C-alpha cells in the first residue's frame, strides 16, 4: 500500500494548474447513460473514483474512448446490463448516481448501496423517496436498490439538502413525462455544471443553482460536448497548503467564483489574495491568524474544506472554533493532527484549535479523502519528516498531488 513521505518546513512557491472537479465529473459521467448518442467530455481529472466510475459504466455496455490526456467520449447506445454490482461500487458513494439515469432510460435498475469515506451517514432515502414520487416501484433487497417503472413529473420536496440526491433526481426527470419540481434542492456549483451538461444534451432545466429546480421532461436527449468545471476543493486545498507554509503560490485554470467564503477566511487569516479571470494568487504572512468557521450547504463554508482549515489553524496565532454541521463523524483527522503536535480539543461537533509555534513530523494515517489533505498540509508545515499512510484516499480526489506539490518546491515522494 502506497504512503506519502514529506520533508516539511519549506514555504511553497511557484505556479500549478488545477484539475477538473471530481464532484462535477462523476454525475456528468452518469449523465451519458441518458442518451444513445455520444457525450464528449473535456477537463476530466485522472482519479481513482473516475476510473472506478468508467469501469462501472463499461460493464453496463458503455463504450469509453480516451481523447487526449483530459478528454473522453462515452457512447451509451447499447446498455446491456443496467446494474451496479457491489464489488464495483463499494469504495465510492457516487455510484448511486447511476440509479436515476438507468431508471429513466431503461425503465429498470439494480444498484448496490454505495460505500466511500467513513465520515458519517449518507443515506439514499431522499433519492428513493424522490423516484417513488415520480412513479418508480422500488425495493431494497440484499444490499441492492431494485427499481422499475416509467417515470412521470412530480413535485419533490427533499427532507434535507442533498447534492447527489438533487443530481440523481434531476437526471431522472429529464426523460420523465411532464414537469418535475425539486424543492430544497442543493445549490452547489457542481449541480449547476451537471445542469449545463444536461441542457447541452437537450434537457429543459431552469433554476439550477437555486433552491428550486424545474425540469420539463423530453422524449430523448442527444449527444453533446462539455468541459468539466475546475475543482474548487482542490483549489482551496492548495491555497491552504500555501497559507500553512508561509508560501507564495499562483493557481491556474481555476476560478474564485465558487470560493468566496473560503477566500474570505484566508483573508481573515492574514493572507493576500490576487484574483484573476482564470487564476488565483496567494501570499501568506509569516504567521497566520486563527479563523473560526461553521460548515453548511453551499454557498456557506464547505464541509470538504473543514479539515484543511483545521490544519492551518493548528499553526496559526490564537484559537479558533470549527463547527461541523454536515457530517457527524468528520473530525477523525484531529487525532492524527495531534500526533504532529497540534493542540485540538473535540466537544461534540465542535473542534477547538489553539495554534502552536510549530508542528513536528510523525507517522500518521489518513481516514478519509479530505482528512488526507489536512495531513498533507500539516506535514508540509511541520519540521522534519512526516509519513502519511493509507493515501489511497488521496488518489480518489487529488490528481498527481506529489507531482504538483513538487512543482511548488515541496519535498514529497510516494513510497511503495
Binding-site entries for UDP-N-acetyl-alpha-D-glucosamine: 93, 122-126, 304, 326
Q: Say if CB 273 and CB 267 are below 8 A apart.
A: yes
Cβ count within 10 A of residue 219: 7
Q: Say if CB 180 and CB 156 are below 8 A apart.
A: yes
Contacts of 277 (CB under 8 A, 6+ apart): none
Sign of CA dihedral 162, 164, 167, 173: negative
In angstroms, the CA 368 to CA 208 distance is 29
Q: What are phi and psi of 219, to 5 degrees?
A: -70, -40
Helices (H), 73-182: 86-89, 99-106, 125-133, 163-173
Burial of 351 (C-beta count, 10 Å sphere; 0-12/13-18/19+): buried
Contacts of 5 (CB under 8 A, 6+ apart): 385, 386, 387, 388, 412, 413, 414, 415
The secondary structure element, H or E, covering residue 308 is helix 306-313
Q: Extract the annotated binding site.
A: 22-23, 93, 122-126, 304, 326
In angstroms, the CA 83 to CA 98 distance is 9
The secondary structure element, H or E, covering residue 29 is helix 22-31
In angstroms, the CA 243 to CA 266 distance is 8
Residue tagged active-site, from 30, 117, 240, 271? 117
Strand partners, 345: 352
197 is catalytic: no
Q: Extract the annotated binding site for phosphoenolpyruvate.
A: 22-23
Strand partners, 152: 177
Helix (H/G/I), strand (E/B), else coil: 126: helix
Q: Say if CB 148 and CB 136 are below 8 A apart.
A: yes
In angstroms, the CA 188 to CA 223 distance is 25
Q: What are phi and psi of 75, to 5 degrees?
A: -115, 110
Helix (H/G/I), strand (E/B), else coil: 136: coil
Active-site residue numbers?
Answer: 117
Amino acid at each position: 500500500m502506497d504512503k506519502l513521505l514529506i520533508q516539511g518546513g519549506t514555504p511553497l512557491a511557484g505556479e500549478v494548474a488545477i484539475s477538473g472537479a471530481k464532484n462535477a465529473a462523476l454525475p456528468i459521467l452518469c449523465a451519458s447513460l441518458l442518451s444513445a448518442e455520444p457525450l464528449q467530455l473535456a477537463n476530466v481529472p485522472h482519479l481513482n473514483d473516475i476510473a472506478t466510475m468508467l469501469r462501472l459504466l463499461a460493464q453496463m455496455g458503455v463504450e469509453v474512448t480516451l481523447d487526449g490526456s483530459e478528454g473522453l467520449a462515452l457512447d451509451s447506445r447499447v446498455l446491456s446490463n443496467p446494474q451496479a454490482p457491489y464489488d464495483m461500487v463499494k469504495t465510492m458513494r457516487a455510484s448511486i448516481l447511476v440509479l436515476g439515469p438507468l431508471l429513466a432510460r431503461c425503465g429498470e435498475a439494480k444498484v448496490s448501496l454505495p460505500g466511500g469515506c467513513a465520515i458519517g451517514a449518507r443515506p439514499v432515502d431522499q433519492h428513493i423517496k424522490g423516484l417513488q414520487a415520480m412513479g418508480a416501484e422500488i425495493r431494497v433487497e440484499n444490499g441492492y436498490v431494485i427499481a422499475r417503472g416509467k417515470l412521470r413529473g412530480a413535485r419533490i420536496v427533499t427532507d434535507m439538502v442533498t447534492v447527489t440526491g438533487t443530481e440523481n433526481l434531476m437526471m431522472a426527470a429529464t426523460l420523465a413525462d411532464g414537469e418535475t419540481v425539486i424543492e430544497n434542492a442543493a445549490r452547489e456549483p457542481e449541480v449547476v455544471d451537471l445542469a449545463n451538461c444536461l441542457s447541452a444534451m437537450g434537457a429543459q432545466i431552469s433554476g439550477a443553482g437555486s433552491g428550486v429546480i424545474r425540469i420539463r421532461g423530453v422524449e430523448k436527449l442527444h449527444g453533446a460536448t462539455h468541459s468539466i468545471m475546475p475543482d474548487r476543493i482542490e483549489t482551496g486545498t492548495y491555497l491552504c497548503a500555501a497559507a500553512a507554509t508561509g508560501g507564495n503560490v499562483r493557481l491556474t485554470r481555476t476560478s474564485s467564483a465558487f470560493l468566496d467564503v473560503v477566500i474570505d477566511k484566508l483573508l481573515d487569516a492574514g493572507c493576500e489574495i490576487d484574483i484573476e479571470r482564470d487564476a488565483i494568487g496567494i501570499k501568506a504572512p509569516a504567521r497566520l491568524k486563527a479563523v473560526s468557521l461553521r460548515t453548511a450547504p453551499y454557498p456557506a463554508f464547505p464541509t470538504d474544506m473543514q479539515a484543511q482549515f483545521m490544519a492551518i489553524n493548528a499553526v496559526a496565532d490564537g484559537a479558533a472554533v470549527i463547527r461541523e454541521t454536515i457530517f457527524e463523524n468528520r473530525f477523525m483527522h484531529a487525532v492524527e493532527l495531534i500526533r504532529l503536535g497540534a493542540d485540538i480539543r473535540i466537544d461534540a461537533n465542535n473542534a477547538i484549535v489553539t495554534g502552536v509555534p510549530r508542528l513536528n513530523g510523525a507517522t500518521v494515517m489518513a481516514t478519509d479523502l479530505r482528512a488526507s489533505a489536512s495531513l498533507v498540509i500539516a506535514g508540509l508545515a511541520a519540521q522534519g519528516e512526516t509519513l502519511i499512510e493509507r493515501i489511497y484516499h488521496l488518489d480518489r480526489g487529488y490528481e498527481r498531488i506529489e507531482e504538483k506539490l513538487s512543482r511548488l518546491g515541496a519535498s514529497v515522494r510516494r513510497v511503495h
